[in-house]
Copies of this chain bind each other. A is one copy, B any other.
Amino acid sequence: MTLDFSRDKPIYSQLVDRICGDILKGKLLLGDRLPSVREYAVETGVNVNTVQRVYKELEAMDLTETKRGQGTFITTNEERIVELREDMKNLLAQNFLTSIEALGFSREEMLVVLHKKS
């Protein structure tokens, strides 16, 4: 695999985003086991410590449960996933609107651009 990471954001943060995306898109289901830290490190071409930080963040977000000696698993709390979906959607929308305002664009002209981009 060996993913390509953006330079303008910490790698661990980008990996958290990626996994959140996989959860929301249904690529990862409730109770699914994530790769071990060592496996995922090799897959993504990243250091084990960085993966460890990713898993720690996910657990702090209540998105995973870690069982020492067994692995890290997606939470079985479906409500949390629904909540995550809403939170991410609102965050995305809010950031978009904030950026628009910061640069002085009108909402209307942005909608036009969004519509153009297939």
- If the complex has contacts A21-B103, A24-B104, are A93 and B109 also in contact, measured as CB distance less than 8 A? no
A-side interface mostly: helix
30 contacts between A and B (CB under 8 A): A8-B13, A18-B102, A20-B103, A21-B102, A21-B103, A21-B104, A24-B103, A24-B104, A24-B105, A25-B104, A88-B103, A88-B105, A89-B103, A89-B110, A89-B113, A90-B113, A92-B99, A92-B100, A92-B103, A92-B105, A92-B110, A93-B110, A93-B113, A93-B114, A96-B96, A96-B114, A97-B114, A97-B117, A107-B114, A111-B111
A8 and B88 CA atoms in complex are apart in Å by 17
Question: Which B residues are CB-close (under 8 A) to A18?
Answer: 102
| A24 to B102 alpha-carbon distance, docked (Å) | 9
Binding site for B on A (CB under 8 A): 8-9, 13, 17-18, 20-21, 24-26, 88-90, 92-94, 96-97, 99-100, 102-105, 107, 109-111, 113-114, 117
Query: Could you say which residues of chain B place their CB within 8 Å of the CB of A21?
Result: 102-104
Question: For A107, what are the chain B residues with a Cβ–Cβ distance below 8 Å?
Answer: 114
A110 / chain B contacts, CB cutoff of 8 Å: 89, 92-93
